[in-house]
Structure 1
Amino acid sequence: MGRVEHAIFWHVYPLGFTGAPRAAGPDEPVTHRLRHVEAWLDYLIELGCNGLQLGPVFASSTHGYDTVDHLRIDPRLGDDADFDRLIAACRERGIAVLLDGVFHHVGRDFPRFRAAERGAAEAAAWFRRTGDGGWATFEGHDALVALDHGAEAVREHVTTVMNHWLDRGAAGWRLDAAYAVPPEFWQAVLPAVRERHPSAWIVGEVIHGLEYREKAGLDAVTQYELWKAIWSALNDANLFELAWALGRHSPDTLTFVGNHDVTRIASRLDDPGHLGHALAVLFTVAGVPSVYYGDEQAFRGVKYDRAGGDDDVRPAFPASPAELAPFGAEVLRTHQRLIGLRRRFPWLARAETTVTHLTNRQIALRAAHGGQVVVTSLNLDDVPYRFPAVDGELTVAESSHPGQADPLVTPGRGWTVGVRTAD
């Protein structure tokens, strides 16, 4: 997908975004809802992004993660022609498309699993068994049947699927629940994918730790440690937690403050005034940032651990940006300003971040690369705070208080981004 350091994704969960039915019937008619996503591509560009991270688009029974056919677009979203049309519209705008690959498990209506239930030995070899002879599942979810990643047929199938959609114009893959797949599986699959698509960007979903990336041979992994540290440190006024997480941070990550599986950042933060602090960190540390649709409009939504518990964070979007409520305008501008800063300094994607000043309620983060420096200062107190000078002359690039001139003084409950470019 070209130079990944320039990538900033807008993350869309298509089934929710387009208002698709909760479940697909056995003879679900094709409805061309992917065109609804296409209508928002110019908005994506105006936000400052140049990547579209799509949740599941392949045929499934319900929420997209219970796949029944990896090689067919979900009829609730459209068909191959709709996918090709979306890819073409993205290509015209310079937008890279990252697909969601659900390769740890499948839905119970996956044809080979139905054949396995009927006793077909060749089909049964695709799926893992439990010690009592039952079918293994994903984290106890009976509707999600675990594939046997030691089976050659499964490796061949996943390789075929990944190459098929890359052939059709996708730029890369997010591998769902990668942490539950033996890393040896990706070591066997990815060489054939990279041989055919050397520029494809492959990111795996991991929840804890970043070591899986190297073991599996991935380009990046999801950065849940930083996600948790950002909102938790702000809620607890304990910026030592953020500093600790940044000490473990890696450039080889997909970074975010919201996605389809978690409570929205506007609902997660106890103090909505801290949203700008969270975004200032997201867009000035290393990694590839992703913005979950609606977060840039201050959408609220809580994730619950129950049936239908994802609905609040996977809403339908209106037909066009003109139909959005005006209450999100200020948060949208904050996103645009910080994404604009990230565009001016794309080296931030590979920067090394160090903490140069730290208290419970103040922190200064120094990102440096090739003689260039960006210093992000957060102040959680109600009064202004003067940070000690570290890098000589800095210029205020962005601030919670536009017009601020002194890069060392961060306003009360504010944030400042100062920059120094190479001579």
Structure 2
Amino acid sequence: MDAPRSPDAPDTSWIRHAIWWHVYPLGFCGAPVRPAGPAPAPRLRALLDWLDYAVELGVNGLLLGPVFHSATHGYDTLDHYRIDPRLGTLADFDDLVAACRARGLRVVLDGVFSHVGAGHPALARALAAGPGSPEAELFDVDWQAPGGPRPRVFEGHGELVRLDHTRPRTADLVADVLGYWLERGVDGWRLDAAYSVDPRFWAEVCGRVRRDHPRAWFLGEVIHGDYGAFVAESRLDSVTQYELWKALWSSLAERNLFELDWALQRHNRFLDSFTPTTFVGNHDVTRIASTLGGDGAVAAPALLMCVGGVPCVYYGDEQGFTGIKEERLGGDDAVRPAFPGSPGELAPWGRGVHRAHRELIGLRRRHPWLATAATEAVALDNTRYVFRAHGRHGGAHLEVEADIAAGWHVAIRGPAGHTLWRLDAEPDRS
């Protein structure tokens, strides 16, 4: 039994049942990104025709990439209060949220508060007015730089200008934006590049927002570092579990399942204090089918769905989409593609991967205790790994066996030893 909740504590218990379909809207809806250009259209409405598909897949939430007015790819925000004209209007967004609500789908937005686009109008006004102006408090600017004021940028990207997270005005802005869209019906936020901001900033801002929205869920993008310490200091609900993501694909690709076991041991410790957000793909990484092939693109989510966490399925992974992330201008485009106009237009070669995802998500939803499950190794060598996932309260458990010595073999068994799901794919000899 869970400990009683303090009356003042946030109530995000609903997240234990959440499985997200993660969509990058600018790509999904076919909006022009590079060059962006003025191309206003209600493209966001294309998602309306895919909500029943999401429900049939088995997910119960839509995690949306950036939808706010931006210069190009969505992470160079120009206005946090306006839907990107390439996607449509506020009415289009409201209709999408209402359609999600009608189907029992929750909605989480992607908020970029580490930085903004270099063309943000408030930055232009701040640079024109000087360091004493109110808007200058929002930005991290070297006012004494040779040649004139120089905004500090995010990780070397000249088009991304850092906000000043030491100033109350920035905290007020972020809290207001978070609250504004929560009032419009969303359920939470993914906080982009949360790792680049002092975690105390998130503790202050999200704490303020939770007073009015105690059921809001906050996910921080954290790649490296001490996840547990970051969550404790930031008081966010979750962080992106990149350690497990890396261990999943590389242990399978390199036939070294010791790496996965090590990652799951660390994952157990994270689960003692918070529930990480887990994934085998997202908008920033090479597609799992490009890394492991079509059968590997089933094996990886099979393992993911049997360990603790809040699982995300990146759109297209459930169809076996391929795409390689490259470190160049436009290097994300291959992993952020447009979807067809309707599910009926999907290519038939993705049906097997899709069917497996539906089965695995269904299994996950029939065993909701898996959200906080711990794992322990039963047998382990380089190419064969058997682990037991067990609930933290009571005797519920599943046993998972992965044998990748020759082909892809994964079996999920119930407490009595009967097989609940199985993958048997022999090596491709072609």
TM-score by length of 1: 0.90
Could you list the runs of 5+ residues in structure 1 that have no partner in the other structure?
Answer: 402-410, 414-423
Distance change >3 Å, CA 23–CA 391, structure 1 → 2 = closer
RMSD, aligned CA: 2.1
User: Which residue in the other structure is 2:354 paired with?
Assistant: 332
- Offset from partner CA, 1:184-227 (integer Å, 9 cap, x none): 10111011111111011100000013131121000000000000
Q: Separation in 1 of the partners of 2:356 and 2:327?
A: 31
Q: Separation in 2 of the partners of 1:384 and 1:39?
A: 34
Q: Separation in 2 of the partners of 1:366 and 1:318?
A: 39
Q: Are 1:400 and 2:409 counterparts?
A: no
Distance change >3 Å, CA 157–CA 343, structure 1 → 2 = same
- CA shift at 1:274, angstroms? 2.2
* Corresponding residue pairs, total: 400
User: Which residue in the other structure is 2:63 paired with?
Assistant: 53
User: Which residue in the other structure is 2:363 paired with?
Assistant: 341
- Offset from partner CA, 1:396-421 (integer Å, 9 cap, x none): 111114xxxxxxxxx877xxxxxxxx
User: Which residue in the other structure is 2:29 paired with?
Assistant: 18
Name the stretch that deviates more: 15-24 or 97-106.
15-24
- Offset from partner CA, 1:213-259 (integer Å, 9 cap, x none): 12100000000000000010011100000011111113411100000
Q: Are 1:322 and 2:332 counterparts?
A: no
- The aligned amino acid for 2:245 is W
User: Which residue in the other structure is 2:213 paired with?
Assistant: 197
**1:56 aligns to what SS in structure 2?**
coil
Name the stretch that deviates more: 378-387 or 289-298.
378-387
Distance change >3 Å, CA 308–CA 266, structure 1 → 2 = same
**1:145 aligns to what SS in structure 2?**
strand
- CA shift at 1:376, angstroms? 1.1
For 1:31, which of 34, 41, 53 is the aligned residue? 41
Give 1:122-201 correspondences, 5 Å limit. 122=133, 123-129=135-141, 132=145, 134-201=150-217
- The aligned amino acid for 1:376 is V
Distance change >3 Å, CA 24–CA 92, structure 1 → 2 = farther
Is 1:67–1:106's contact at 8 Å kept on the other side of the alignment?
Answer: yes
Could you list the runs of 5+ residues in structure 2 that have no partner in the other structure?
Answer: 1-11
Q: Are 1:256 and 2:290 counterparts?
A: no
User: Which residue in the other structure is 2:118 paired with?
Assistant: 108
- CA shift at 1:86, angstroms? 0.4
For 1:8, which of 10, 14, 19 is the aligned residue? 19
Q: Separation in 2 of the partners of 1:334 and 1:103?
A: 37
**1:244 aligns to what SS in structure 2?**
helix
- The aligned amino acid for 1:313 is V
**2:107 aligns to what SS in structure 1?**
strand
Q: Are 1:281 and 2:314 counterparts?
A: no
**2:251 aligns to what SS in structure 1?**
helix
Q: Separation in 2 of the partners of 1:391 and 1:299?
A: 31
Q: Separation in 2 of the partners of 1:194 and 1:383?
A: 48
Q: Separation in 1 of the partners of 2:107 and 2:130?
A: 37
Name the stretch that deviates more: 207-216 or 290-299.
207-216
User: Which residue in the other structure is 1:224 paired with?
Assistant: 242
- Offset from partner CA, 1:352-408 (integer Å, 9 cap, x none): 111221100011121111210011110012389999xx997322111114xxxxxxx
- The aligned amino acid for 1:381 is A
User: Which residue in the other structure is 1:97 paired with?
Assistant: 107
Is 2:60–2:106's contact at 8 Å kept on the other side of the alignment?
Answer: yes
- The aligned amino acid for 1:365 is F
**1:125 aligns to what SS in structure 2?**
helix
For 1:352, which of 374, 386, 389 is the aligned residue? 374
For 2:383, which of 356, 361, 375 is the aligned residue? 361
Taking every aligned residue pair, what percent have the same amino acid on both sides?
Answer: 52
Name the stretch that deviates more: 340-349 or 131-140.
131-140
